[in-house]
Structure 1
């Protein structure tokens, strides 16, 4: 009986502590994330522009893929992060 009473007291203390110290989403500071400084959503001298494409299968040339990894956020064309996009794509 003592063990049960002790367990109930421990559970109550933990619950009370949690209810007093829970973190709400309003207390957390909002993070202000700015886009990378190299982001260029408009056309450049190369004739390419960032239009949301992210994969090698969506590119028409190696030059286009290189432009995308250098200038557009969120690309998924350089699996080993060596700066060379679409290395295993036999089309280029």
Structure 2
């Protein structure tokens, strides 16, 4: 009984983890890939399409998290893009105030 409760709890955690990391990753990547605010002087939809690869990294982590053999690795990989963005923003803020 306890194993079943723990398994259901982990399933809920995994789903919430994927949703939250996706909510952080996808909008930021699309914002940066389109050139941000006022930097799209080329007329192309994506000025920096290489940033779209970050969504691919998140997606690979999300898929791996549902493969039993790679569950923990998938959760770590899918957490990397949001951690990158959070640290990047944090260091930018610290750089302004220091």
TM-score (norm 1): 0.27
Higher RCO (Cα < 8 Å, 6 or more apart): 2
TM-score (norm 2): 0.26
Q: Give the greater-gyration-radius structure (CA).
A: 1
Structure with the higher fraction of residues in helix conformation:
2
